[in-house]
Every structure is written in structure tokens, then in C-alpha cells.
Chain A
Amino acid sequence: MIRVLQVQKPKLILEDGRRLDGRKPDELRPMKMEIGVLKNADGSSLVEVGNTKIIAAVYGPREMHPRHLALPNRATLRVRYHMTPFSTDERKSPAPSRREIELSKVIREALESSILVEQFPRSSIDVFMEVIQADAGTRLASLMAASLAVVDAGIPVKDVIAAVAVGKADGVVVLDLNEPEDMWGEADMPVAMLPSLGQITLIQLNGNMTQQEFKQGLELAYKGINTIYNLEKEVLRSKFAEIHEEGS
């Protein structure tokens, strides 16, 4: 596939009200999830959202090294979000950039609120996320991949994290931004939730939205998150459903 770098803003919403990739404003990108993809990790997952592809691995809870960094009352969470050099159009330097360091922190804080870290004092839980292919929404796809991998590792959590971005493209509030909308749109708002508890673990807003647009966007995000959440649960359950039928 040959990609032409666009220097001018394209029309994000076409005449028929559809978006550049043919979706309606409230439509999600196709999604695929899998758990237990790595043998060496305690828990792992692969998440695909549109063209975005993330692999996540979780190790622990295990002994904290160096020891003096261990916390006396809870587990320490160490999170690394990293983009592979081949994940973008132009080669990305493999060294952690300012953006990756920031996203690691943002993801750690969102993930930490879902894990019951108090149950493993003085230990560490290490989470690694590798962006295989980047096409908008990597932070949320990574967060979901991390959450699924944590569950796969058997670490108790309050809930599985489901997340989706909403934004504004050509004045229209749209769900699950793609790359051009992310680049040229007026606003981008990632939202991550613990759906069955009704709690938000991550919300950021880039750009401008009126109060009404914000509310509308959040409503749209809730809807999207519900769909994603059901898919996540199905994926987690499917690993054991197969043998269950066979055995009963």
C-alpha cells in the first residue's frame, strides 16, 4: 500500500454524513482481542483496534528489585509503553521519547486504580506494552491490552478497563477517531472506564469542545465502551468456554 502524506486538511465528514473510512459518526472501528499469546509472560494479550495493533505482557506479582524501591503496603506497578521502530510511517527511534514516557505514566495511573495492589505488599507488577502498528488511539488500545493481560495473569482487579476516544471532526462529534481525524480534527478526548462500577479511570481532552459537545461526546463514549466491554468479557470467557462444553 502506498501512502501519500497529506499536507492539507482533508474533508473529514463526507457529503453523505459518513467519515473518511466509511463509518457513521457513532460507529466503532473493527476490533479483535486475544489473551495468552505469550508463553514466557504470566499474562499477555493482543489487541487490534482498526489498524492499531498492541501486544502487552504482564509479569508478577514478583519480588521487587531493587529492594529499597518496594512499597511497604502495596505492590509497585511498573509500566512501559513503547512504540516499535516500524510501527509508524517513518521510522521511529527506539529510544523512549518524551511522549512515550508520559503515556507510560498516564497508563500506569489508570491501570493502578483498577488493580487491587494492596493485596501484594512489597512486590512489583511489571507491565510492558509494545505498539506493533500505530493508527490513532494507541494509548487506549494499550491500556485495554494491559488490563486484559493483568486479568490473564490472575491478578485480582476491580474490573476490566474498556476505553474509547471521542472527538470533533468538522464540527461533528465522532466516536473512535482514526488517524486523519486525530491529526486534523478539532478535539480528541480519550475516555477509559471500569464499566460495571461506573467509574472513569482516564479522561483527557485535547482541543476545544463546548459544554454540550462534551456531554454529547461522553454519552457517545459510554455507548462505545459498553460494546467494547462486552467484547472483552467474551474474549476472557471464551478461553474456558470451549473446554467446558467438551467436558459437560
Chain B
Amino acid sequence: MSTENKIYLQDRTVVVPGDLIAEGNFQIPWSPYIIRQGNKYFASVIGVVEVKDSIFEVIPLEGSHYYPRIGDTVIALVEDVELYGWTTDIKAPYSAYLPASSLLGRPANVGEDLRRYIDVGDYVIAKVESFDRTSDPVLSVKGKGLGRVSSGTVIDILPVKVPRVVGKGKSMLETLSTETGCDILVAQNGRVLANCPSKEKENILIMAIRTIERESHTKGLTDRIKKLIKESLGDKSVTSSEAQTNT
């Protein structure tokens, strides 16, 4: 019997669970979004198929939770202060622990008040240091650019939309930061930290990010976002000059 590999769907097709993507024997990396039954490959989530030569991949479109991966940069929200560290929310099914020793560079003293460094409600930029199926994620703030967030705005997005907000080769991220003039950090767990020169520009950035989220599965999004920001910025400059002439 000849084992012929057949991909039934075209590149960038929207799939739903139970859709037959391909038949045969493919050398593809394991993915939670593809299930194999015999020699048939089905989609397991709502997503978009990306077909490249003889390899395919499913990019999910829905999902409000982040699944931790070692080495990812995340923005954690501190939920509780404990004796030797902080428990944080990283939008995962598990709470993440940030040991105080990682921040202080020395073991925390007994009875030391850790609220002096990081308190409940603070955002922390951190890296996932360890995580597996059996244990909760542990964070680390050792490294450049990591630590407590002292300025800016944190915007929550769906974790599955992170790749689109960053774009291929960071194209979307570059568009966003150059067009609005904001300093942007996109964390893998679906939080965006933005330091903007003005409130108007921040609002435009948020609007652009919401548009990306809503239309993440469409083609030519970067160009449309560029246009959208330019238009909104143009409107703003017109209204502000009008306001000036009125006064």
C-alpha cells in the first residue's frame, strides 16, 4: 500500500474542531491543536491552518489562557506577598511563584518585609525559570529589562493573539512603536506594557491593538494598521490645531 501524503486544506483556511486537515504520515512537531487518529490529522481548536510545502500547522484563534513555557518573558501581576517571595498571576491555569532571592540576590531574611520591594497589585516583568506538568511555574527577575514595572500602562490581550501583535519578524511591533512613538513590550502571556509620549497616542495604540485582536486571522493586517494609526493621528492633529485656533 502506498502511503501518499495529502493535505486537503489551503494555506490560511479557518478550521474548526473535527476538520480533516491531512491524511498520510507527516513529520510535524507535536501540537495540542492537531490530533492524529490513525493516519488522519484533525484540528482540535478554532484556528487557521498554515501550509508550507509538506508541513502544516494550526494557529489557534480562541483561548484566554496562557500555557507557560520555560524562557518566556511574562508580565506577572502580584497577588500575594509571602515569607520568602510573591505569588503572581500570569494568566495561566497555575499561579507563578517569584522567590525573593531572585530579586534581592541574597536569601530573604527571616521577618523581612517584602512589601518594601514589591507589593500586591504591582506588575513584574519576569522570565519563566522552571515549569513542568508536575510543578507550578517559578519566575526569575535576573536579567536585563526584568523587574518591577515602574511606569507605563499594561494592556491585556488574549494570549493566542500575541504572535499577531508581534508579527512576522516583529513587523507589526515595529509598525506600532514607530507610528505611535510608544515604547512597547509584548509579553508571551498576553500582556502588553506601553510607555507612550502622550495620552492620545496611548489611546490610539490601544485601539490599534484591539483591531489586531479582532482581525488577527486576516491578510495584510500590518498595512491596514499602519493606515489606521496614521488616520487617527491625523485626526488628532487636526482637532488639536482647531482647538488651538478656538482659544
Contacts and interface: CB of A to CB of B under 8 A. Distances in A.
Given A61-B93, A159-B42, A196-B42, A244 B14 contact: yes
Interface string A56-75: 00001111000000001101
A181 interface: no
Given A151-B17, A247-B219, A156 B32 contact: yes
Contact of B62 (A119, A151, A158): A151
Contacts of A154: 45-46, 60-65, 160
A156 B14 contact: no
A169 interface: no
Given A42-B65, A160-B18, A233-B16, A248 B44 contact: no
A197 B17 CA distance: 11
A219 to B, nearest CB: 21
A43 B62 contact: yes
Interface residues of A, number: 41
A197 B37 contact: yes
A192 interface: no
Contacts of B236: none
Interface in B51-65: 60-65
A138 interface: no
B56 to A, nearest CB: 16
Given A154-B62, A237-B14, A244 B46 contact: no
A206 B121 CA distance: 55
A158 B16 contact: no
A194 B42 CA distance: 12
A182 B95 CA distance: 47
Given A60-B93, A63-B93, A154-B160, A194 B62 contact: no
A120 interface: yes
B8 to A, nearest CB: 12
A21 to B, nearest CB: 30
Nearest to B89: A63
Contacts of B35: 116, 156, 158
B215 interface: yes
A164 B93 CA distance: 34
A119 B221 contact: no
Interface string A123-159: 1000000000000000000000000000111111111
B134 A240 contact: no
19 contacts: A43-B62, A60-B65, A60-B93, A62-B93, A121-B134, A151-B17, A151-B62, A154-B60, A154-B61, A154-B63, A156-B33, A156-B35, A158-B18, A158-B42, A197-B37, A233-B16, A236-B17, A244-B217, A247-B224
* The 3 residue pairs across chains A and B that have the minimum distance between CB atoms: A247-B218, A154-B63, A154-B62
Interface of A: 42-43, 60-63, 72-73, 75, 116, 119-123, 151-160, 194-197, 229, 233, 236-237, 239-241, 243-244, 246-248
Interface of B: 14, 16-20, 32-33, 35, 37, 42, 44-46, 60-65, 93-95, 133-134, 160, 214-215, 217-221, 224
